[in-house]
Amino acid sequence: MKKSMTIPALSVNPSGDAVCGDNKTMTDVITMQHSIRRLSHPFMALLIAAILIVSWGCSGEQGRAPEAGSNGKKAPSAPAYGDIIVEGSIGDASNLIPVLSTDSTSHSISGLVFNGLVKYDKDLDLVGDLAESWDISDDGLVITFHLRRDVRWHDGHPFTADDVLYTYRVTVDPKTPTAYAGDFLKVSKAEVVDPYTFRVTYDKPFAPALPSWAAAVLPAHLLEGKDITQSPLSRHPVGTGPYIFKEWVTGQKIVLVSNKDYFEGRPYIDGYILRIIPDMATMFLELRAQGVDQMNLTPLQYTRQTETPLFRKNFNKYRYLSFSYTYLGYNLENPLFQDRRVRQAISHAVNKEEIITGVLLGLGKIATGPFKPGTWAHNPNVRRYPYDPEESRKLLAEAGWRDTDGDGLLDRGGTPFSFEIITNQGNEVRAKCAEIIQRRLADVGIRVEIRVVEWAAFINEFINKKRFDATILGWTVTLDPDLYDVWHSSKTKPGELNFISYRNEEVDRLLEEGRSTFDMKERKRCYDRIQEIFSEDQPYTFLYYPDSLPIISARFRGIKPAPLGIGYNFIKWYVPEGEQKYVMTR
């Protein structure tokens, strides 16, 4: 019998956190393949070749394709409309206008509410979203998008090319505090050809041009002529997507309802609720009690705590190497970290194998750079930093750090080597990593303090304002290897993504070259060299590529693991009528 409540009861502390930057341009959000026009064109050949190489990297030892559900006990049945899915998150959203937010929670919600012109399908191929097709000129400099004519905003207003033009203009407006202007700044001309045709022109080849238009399109009729930073849409978004915003109770929940008029078809699941539960142990108890239908497991939860009859009967769990990496990043404006020998020494002092084995329980791989192993841009031949305390001490001594008073703590000029690592509340894996790093650095004479900070304060008061010594965080690896927004020296302003303040002239040049050619070999040369420089500079100590470990209630059917993950066909997930649990009121 279905519960008459609108949503499950909420009884958690109204605070939370999330994984910083886990969605720069790609989130595991709803996607569904459109019929598009394939073009015989150098740019498309480059794109398809890149995607094929990425796809090959998603199977086999280096990058397993997602495993099937862990049990398969629920038989297939007819799709039915209804029910609600409740997902747990340790972090709340910050801003639901996508161009203004950088955190993964905001982008995951936005991915259900908004659409871009293009998107990636389950096999990592670019397909149409709000654009049903496009033409690319022979020189790759002009893209003409042909827009769908059957799309309306959630308030009923028709979607047109004016919305795309507005989104472009507000993104490149210097008054807009966004981290995502870089790609659109490459456009020399953007124009509305007619209400359902939009054209962009580039002065020079720009490799990520087409995928850059996966960015969420905003409603011009609600935002144009207004200060976007003061818009009520930041808390009550209006999009074109498969789900319509209903409610946001800060620190507790975000509620969406299905869009019955969605242009790809009404989603089967009537409602989506994100519950903010800032502690993973509490969230796991809610999962066990079936107050949460979906969450991302910790390695301990995946390997041990869910291997029970209760979980085997009521849930399916999945495992695949994620498009992300976790790192220890240094504030390079701090004098402690400005000598790269110090950063190299720290990398030698950190035992990554210990982290993989002891914290991840083997569910991940050692990271050597920003690209996932098996993808075409990954350089497997860079310098590595095996655990070597003696080499670490040697490098620190060369940089002037010695134990001059015999207390076991290094100092230089009378100043002890001591710093603080901050990370986000609720992520026990990162907290344990910090503890291991603290212990290993103590072995070489460096004192480390650990601070765990509530998510909103962590981002707004520490990361964005660069008020930290070092931090443990993660980034999503985008399908196109363009690293400009995270690593270019022009992206170091408050609120931008190069918050460690990394500056390297050769890297800047290579980033610009890598995004300014369609030649696959040239791009590979650029990104290989960038990874070599990173391996020498060590602006991050790259720690690991984690496995994704989602678990979902077994009453949900239609989940089909693919190279992109499991969320790409969310609108096709369903619960058989006899197993539905909740009723969504609108």
Cβ-contact 567, 294 below 8 angstroms = no
Residues 196 and 258 in one domain: yes
Instruction: For residue 60, tell me if it sits in a domain.
Output: no
Model pTM score = 0.81
Residues 175 and 141 in one domain: yes
Domain interval for residue 293: 42-53+70-319+549-579
**Rounded to whole angstroms, how far apart are CA atoms 128 and 147?**
9
Nearest by Cα to 270 from 240, 244, 296: 244
Number of domains in the chain: 2
Residues 196 and 246 in one domain: yes
**Rounded to whole angstroms, how far apart are CA atoms 434 and 449?**
9
Residues 468 and 569 in one domain: no
Instruction: For residue 489, tell me if it sits in a domain.
Output: yes
**Rounded to whole angstroms, how far apart are CA atoms 545 and 27?**
16
Residues 542 and 554 in one domain: no
Q: What is the CATH number of the domain that holds 190?
A: 3.40.190.10
Nearest by Cα to 110 from 224, 15, 239: 239
Question: Residue 73's pLDDT is what?
Answer: 54
Task: Per residue of the chain (586 residues), give pLDDT as tens.
Answer: 454 333 332 222 222 333 333 333 322 322 222 222 223 333 333 333 333 333 323 332 233 334 444 444 566 689 999 999 999 999 899 999 999 998 889 999 999 999 999 999 998 899 999 999 999 999 999 999 999 999 999 999 999 999 999 999 999 999 999 989 989 999 999 999 999 999 999 999 999 999 999 999 999 999 999 999 999 999 999 999 999 999 999 999 999 999 999 999 999 999 999 999 998 999 999 999 999 999 999 999 999 999 999 999 999 999 999 989 999 999 999 999 999 999 999 999 999 999 999 999 999 999 999 999 988 999 999 999 999 999 999 999 999 999 998 899 999 998 999 999 999 988 889 999 999 999 999 999 999 999 999 877 898 899 999 999 999 999 987 788 999 999 999 999 988 999 999 999 999 999 999 999 989 999 999 999 999 999 999 999 999 999 999 999 999 999 999 888 899 999 999 999 999 999 988 7
Residues 399 and 352 in one domain: yes
Instruction: For residue 245, tell me if it sits in a domain.
Output: yes
Q: How far is CA 270 from the centre of its chain?
A: 25
Residues 160 and 269 in one domain: yes
Residues 273 and 351 in one domain: no
Question: Residue 76's pLDDT is what?
Answer: 65
Q: Which residue has the tokens 């033409």?
A: 135
**Rounded to whole angstroms, how far apart are CA atoms 236 and 245?**
7
Instruction: For residue 65, tell me if it sits in a domain.
Output: no
Instruction: For residue 467, tell me if it sits in a domain.
Output: yes
Residues 330 and 365 in one domain: yes
Q: What is the CATH number of the domain that holds 376?
A: 3.10.105.10
Residues 328 and 389 in one domain: yes
Give the dihedral sign, CA 124/127/130/135.
positive
One-letter amino acid at 115 equals: N
Instruction: For residue 178, tell me if it sits in a domain.
Output: yes
Question: Residue 495's pLDDT is what?
Answer: 85
Give Cβ neighbours of residue 264 (< 8 Å, ≥ 6 apart).
32, 242, 571
Instruction: For residue 230, tell me if it sits in a domain.
Output: yes
Residues 410 and 490 in one domain: yes
Return the exposure string of 377-415: e unless at least 16 CB atoms fall within 10 Å of the residue's CB, then b. Answer: bbbeebeebeeebebbbebbeebebebeeeeebbbeeee
Give Cβ neighbours of residue 439 (< 8 Å, ≥ 6 apart).
none
Nearest by Cα to 287 from 576, 580, 86, 430: 86
Question: Residue 77's pLDDT is what?
Answer: 82
Instruction: For residue 2, tell me if it sits in a domain.
Output: no
> CA torsion, points 485, 178, 108, 104, in degrees to nearest 10?
60
Residues 350 and 271 in one domain: no
